[in-house]
Each structure stands twice: as structure tokens, then as C-alpha cells.
Amino acid sequence: MEKIKMKYKSYVVTVYHKQGCNSKKLVFLHGGGLDSALLSWKEVIELMGSEYDIYAIDLLGYGESDKPDITYSIPMYVELLHDILQQLNIERTYLAGLSMGGGTSIGFSLKYPEMVDKLVLVDSLGLYERMPFHTICRWFVNSSLNSKSYQWFAKSKKLIKWSIGSSLIDNKEKITDALVSELYDLVQAPGCSKAWESFQRYELGKENLTSDLAPHLSELKMPVLIVNGEKDSLVPAKSAIAASRAIANCQLYIMKGCKHWAQKEKPDEFVNILKAFL
């Protein structure tokens, strides 16, 4: 897979590219926390074959992209994505986003609908106006406990494994030693949670999410596929069901037994659904 270093303003953004057999473009956006393009999408990209010209972006603050001291938000990521796609000469694309990347994909599709042929949302932010337990979540992300929690996780692989199992992956056999070690290594980096903490502080408003996308879902006119883990506590399946009813041209697929990393927990099943939709 080709690794491309690009510029957004004065910052370096890393884009991974897998050349396809034709000109159909497919762009993947990852989630927040310790995530990155390949952490979320590596298995999926490998299984997609060569039918699509695939790009996966390390958003600012993540992976091998720069991690500047700025305010991270959906509006910022929407403009970053627009700038990167213009530099890549991508006029139209299929766009797939996970969690935070899903919220960014919704925001992008609302602002630049002419650039999105089909939209895929996986356990996506933006399907509801308020987070589950919104008031408690807002207090937590604005407290010192937010950053301290990453310091605690950095001390123990057992805590990392517990965290993955509690919210990301339900099938314990999928929580491999290699995956635990990968996240353990990531959490050792100073400031590893900086971008995610900034994003949370911006997006979790007093009453609703600051980038209030849910009321605008009905404005999406392109075909949309919503994929959600049946057991996802961060984006409950009921939110995905309600969002699918608000979008005129929408397919909904609930992945049985999966949590927030549905595409990583069952990549074969996810790729089958994705290919059928595209």
C-alpha cells in the first residue's frame, strides 16, 4: 500500500492508497481515541480486493499525521477532507466513516453533496442529538479524569484488554495479544489523547452535540448505508434505526453480536455488506 504525505495548511497529513483496477474511488475515515486509518480499516481494505481505488486518511491528531495544538472538531475535519480530496483530484467518491469519521462524513456530505456518490456510516457519530448519558459524558471530558484515564491504561495491558472488550469488540477471541500490544504501544506516546480530548470538549455541548447533524439527516439525498453493532453502547442500535428512517434513500444493517468496532470484529461480513451496497 502506498503512503502519501500531503499538506493541509502547514500540517502534514498521511494518506494510504491502494490502487484499484478502475477509477471508482472509495475513501475511509477512522474514529477517535487512539484510532488511525489502518487500525480501523486495514482488514477491510485487504478484503476489498482491487475493484476500487482506495484511500484511507490519518486525520490530523492521529496515526502518522501531524498532531498540532489546535481545536479539533467536525467542521475542521470536513474542511481537511475537502482540501485533501481536491489535492488528490478526486471529484466524486464513495465515502465511508467510522464513529468520529462517520460524523465527519455526514458533515462533508451535507456541505459537499456533489462530491459523494454513496455514503457509508459505521457506528457513526451524528446519528443522535445527545450522547448516551450526555451530561455525565460532558462532565467527564471536561475533567482531569479524561486525560488521567489514558495514563492509567498506559500502565497495564490488562486494562487495555478490558477496555477493548467493554466497548469495542464483544468476541473475546478477536481481542488478540497483538491488538492489545498495538494499543498499549499507542497509549505510551506523550499526548496520545490530545486530539480526542479537544474534539470531545468541542463537540459535547451543554445540551446537545455542537455539530448538530441529526436534524439534518433528512437532507442527505445520496444512497446511504448505516452499519451498527448490535451491542454498541457508544452508538446504540436504536439510534441507527431512527436515523435510517430519517434518510429517504437508506439501507440499515445491524451486525449481530458486535460492539463499536463492528467492521474490525467481523470484517468479512462487513465487506460483503459494503460491496453489495456499492
What pTM value is reported for the model? 0.93
pLDDT digits (tens, 9 = 90+) for 38-77: 999 999 999 999 999 999 999 999 999 999 999 999 999 9
What pLDDT score does 22 carry? 81
The C-alpha angle with vertex 32 and arms to 26 and 34, in degrees rounded to 5, equals 110
What pLDDT score does 145 carry? 67
DSSP string, 132-163: TTHHHHHHHHTSTHHHHHHHHHTT-HHHHHHH
What pLDDT score does 152 carry? 73
Q: Which fold has domain 2-130+212-277?
A: Rossmann fold (3.40.50)
Domain regions of the chain by residue span: 2-130+212-277
Mean pLDDT by 10 residues, the chain (278 residues): 95 96 93 95 95 96 96 97 97 97 98 98 91 75 72 85 94 95 92 90 84 94 98 94 96 97 97 97
Please name the residues in contact with 5: beta carbons below 8 A apart, sequence gap of 6 or more. Answer: 12, 13, 14, 15
In this structure, what is the dihedral angle of CA atoms 202, 205, 210, 213, given to the nearest 10 degrees? 130
